[in-house]
Structure 1
Amino acid sequence: MARFSKRVGREVLEGHPRLPEWITKERVKLGDLHGMKRGLRDSHLHTVCEEARCPNRTHCFTHGTATFLLMGEVCTRACGFCSIQSGKPRALDAQEPLETAERVAALGLRFAVLTSVNRDDLPDGGAAHFAETVLAIRRRNPGVGVEVLVPDFLGDLEAVARVVAAGPAVFNHNTETVPSLYPEVRPAGRFERSLRVLAHAKELGTALYGTAFRTKSGLMLGLGETEAELMTTFEALAKAQVDILTLGQYLRPTRHQLPVKRYVHPDEFADLGAKAKAFGFATVYAGPLVRSSFNAHEVAELEGISIA
């Protein structure tokens, strides 16, 4: 028998919700998939697509896109939703910015997405490495747009400024969930800190590049948030002048991560997306398989961001 709670999103069947029919897997050409993965590994690069077991990784790989995971595959944090290995990272690879730029060229990408593990062991959280990679891509690939999906740099606003100054078209930092769930979902994160990062990036980026500069953030649904909490979170992100908001379904990567509290129906995603849009975001993308960097090049085109 199903048990229900007042939290938006919570329907539990015998302790765990069943995978609904609208969560499906796309058939892929394995040859194309393996070719993409082999090329990345031959260049010693990592993708968040594989490390975090993104449900869209086969789609992105077979369409010749990927989100590059910088600064290694070991994270200094252990978030409840993420399957990336936690521990002591290795020293930074000084060749990674150039290697990433070369791989972007080899793949023929029009829009590159860069993210990273958290590197709280570094004085700047890895901001200089992000900036160097953005600049390397732009030098090697004139006309290619770059989105950065950054950690919170422990609130270091100078680190934020360093990344913005490198000239990404989109500055993305995910708040991931509502503030009340941070202790279990993002125990080392702070919601207000993330808001400061986003607001500072928007202020600096607008001063440097005008309205062409975009900020972006994303939330996972199905972790136990209430609708009232979502509305409050939308309002806070809008006040931080976030331009683009993504809302997607949390999918448990392995049994070691937090369980899904409920699967949100596509109709509810549409309704929540409309409610979020009313807070003033330029664009809201909402749906079960929406991810922050999924089809980022298409998002950029829809937003009018130049990528050519």
Structure 2
Amino acid sequence: MTGRHDPSFNGDARSFEVIRPERQTLPLVFNSPHSGRVYSAAFLAETRLDAHEIRRSEDLYVDELFAMAPAFGAPLQRAFFPRAFLDVNREPFELDPRMFAGALPSHVNMTSMRVVGGLGTIPRIVAENMPIYDRPIDAAIGLARIEEIYRPYHQSLKQLLQETKRRFGRAVLIDCHSMPGSVTVGGHRRRPDIVIGDRFCTSASSDLAYAAISILERMGFVTAYNKPYAGGFITEHYGRPASDCHALQIEVSRRLYADEQSYAKKPEFIALKQALTLFIQEFAAFLADDEGSSGLAAE
């Protein structure tokens, strides 16, 4: 690693932020890694896509949908950089060597299914299989994205979870995403409103996923569990149920709140945000009851 700076993201701008409550009262941490929508002029000049096409991979406004989490006593970390620029829901070095000019480290994972599909740590495509670049990226500049943005992002998320675990004796990460409105599941090809994922019961205690699904279904949402989205690197990496560190992924259908062609919010956006605020409140109440029954309490 040469330490060369990547000018494609504004060097004087924050790449992410943590919105903390006045006092954390819940063992919850919310994370929105794919809703970043700061597209620098340098990055737009680097990509072969226009300013509209490059947004195809965005988890539209997910950070806003869960913006009330700090008001209930849980921190929210959100990215400003776009997923098309860098995907922190991948291993740090899931890289396609064909994308780069120059040598990559020997420890690069170049054979994962995500890399093969063009969706590595530095993506090759946006949704609908649209190539992002028309020429190779300087390897040193690509690696700088990992050092300057990816590593600090994960260090911050790790710290939030460690702080939460120390305070409450447990930590529950809610990794927040959106999915295309065309997604269907099951033999009847029903369209879920929300998918809850826990890496097939490996990243969180099953009672947490069941509680989330139960709350959402009582609210009238059509839900699915682990299919077609069980969770990505973040859910897998931070979910350690045996250590009482849990990670759930939540995917919200974009058809509920946005026009997927224009990216404009629908009038239903406000009602959905209110509903997800109620979900946070009820899930927090479930955790409080669960902690009480297990003898855990906040400091």
TM-score over 0.5 (shorter chain): no
